[in-house]
């Protein structure tokens, strides 16, 4: 017999939330949403509360997050300011009410670093529809390997980038060095760039002691870079030895593999872009803006926005919720 999702959850081992964290009450959720004109779009009905932790590595088993209300989002978010954001070189309309009104030429830019097994045009189109902000794909930043060195090529210029060979034999790029490359493309496209988000199949690291990092975003600088290597469903990772990366015994077909990588990359892209646009992690409902402490938790989280995060995006972008 097929076990229901609810029954499966009830039989899972429950791990306590990190000390200090308490799941928000219904009153807290309503306060976070604030007064709305059309309650139909922001109904709590059908939205599941955040799940209990089932692993000590789950996000809320490690981090005590307070949650960000809609009013806090508007108050603290520089995209709502009547002053142009520092270093922005594109036209600015101070009287605009949304990010689209204030920066009419503005686009979110997607930068591929090296080869990616992704339809980037389709990925950008999905993100544009989801977020309600124009998205565009930049030309690929060419990369290559020479012995134990990794190089990047901007136009006619080729230079080495800080990298290392990890214990699993894969090349890892220093995340700060990768962000420097992303910053270059933000400045180069200053006439229309709101933010630049880079994706790569290289693993990333921050310091010598790091095993790896999934990526890094710098909201103040409007740049981010993330690795999608571990989104490949045909790779398996040891929970005991992080560097033990192996091919699965029975790989999926190319079509199914591409679908999994696309879906996982799409969720990563919208989640991290919304961070750059000022949204914090969501603690109110199951939501695409939930934090994740490991891949299994990441994969099981929904693609949808909860009513509170949806209202934030509506206020920021003026997006058509029905569409």
The residues assigned a catalytic role are 272
* Structure-block tokens of residue 197: 């988000």
Task: Classify each residue of 276-288 as buried b or exposed e, where b means 16 or more C-beta atoms within 10 Å of its C-beta.
Answer: bbbbbbbbbbbbb
Query: Sheet containing 163-165: which strands, arranged edge to edge?
Result: 163-165, 171-174, 203-205
d(CA 215, CA 306): 24
Contact 95, 281 (CB under 8 A): no
**Bridging pattern class, strands 235-237 and 107-113:** unpaired
C-alpha distances (whole Å) from 198 to each of 90, 179, 183, 190, 223 are: 21, 8, 10, 16, 8
Query: Sheet containing 142-146: which strands, arranged edge to edge?
Result: 142-146, 149-154, 157-161
Contact 107, 194 (CB under 8 A): yes
Chain centroid, CA 45 distance in Å = 26
d(CA 313, CA 318): 7
d(CA 179, CA 155): 18
Using DSSP's 3-state secondary structure scheme, residue 301 falls into coil
């Amino acid at each position: 017999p097929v076990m229901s999702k609810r029954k499966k959850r009830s039989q899972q081992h429950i791990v306590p939330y990190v000390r200090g964290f308490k799941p928000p009450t219904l009153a807290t959720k309503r306060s976070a949403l604030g007064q709305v004109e059309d309650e139909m779009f922001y109904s709590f009905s059908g939205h599941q509360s955040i799940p209990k932790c089932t692993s000590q590595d789950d996000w809320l088993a490690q981090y005590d997050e307070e949650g960000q209300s809609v009013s806090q989002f508007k108050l603290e978010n520089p995209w709502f300011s009547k002053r142009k954001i520092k270093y922005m070189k594109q036209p600015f309309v101070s009287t605009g009410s949304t990010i689209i009104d204030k920066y009419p030429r503005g686009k979110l830019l997607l930068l591929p670093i090296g080869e990616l097994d992704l339809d980037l045009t389709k990925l950008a189109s999905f993100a544009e529809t989801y977020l309600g902000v124009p998205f565009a794909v930049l030309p690929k930043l060419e990369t290559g390997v020479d012995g134990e060195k990794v190089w990047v090529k901007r136009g006619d210029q080729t230079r080495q980038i800080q990298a290392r060979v990890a214990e699993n034999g894969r090349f890892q790029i220093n995340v700060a060095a990768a962000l420097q490359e992303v910053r270059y493309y933000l400045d180069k496209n200053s006439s229309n760039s709101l933010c630049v988000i880079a994706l790569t199949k290289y693993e990333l690291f921050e310091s010598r002691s790091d095993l790896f990092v999934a990526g890094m975003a710098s909201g103040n600088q409007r740049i981010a870079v993330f690795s999608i290597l571990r989104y490949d469903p045909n790779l398996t990772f040891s929970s005991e030895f992080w560097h033990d990366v192996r091919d699965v015994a029975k790989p999926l077909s190319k079509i199914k593999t591409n679908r999994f990588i696309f879906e996982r990359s799409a969720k990563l892209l919208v989640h991290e872009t919304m961070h750059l646009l000022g949204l914090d992690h969501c603690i109110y409902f199951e939501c695409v803006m939930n934090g994740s402490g490991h891949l299994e938790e990441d994969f099981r989280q929904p693609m949808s926005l909860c009513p509170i995060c949806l209202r934030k995006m509506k206020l920021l972008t003026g997006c058509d919720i029905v569409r």
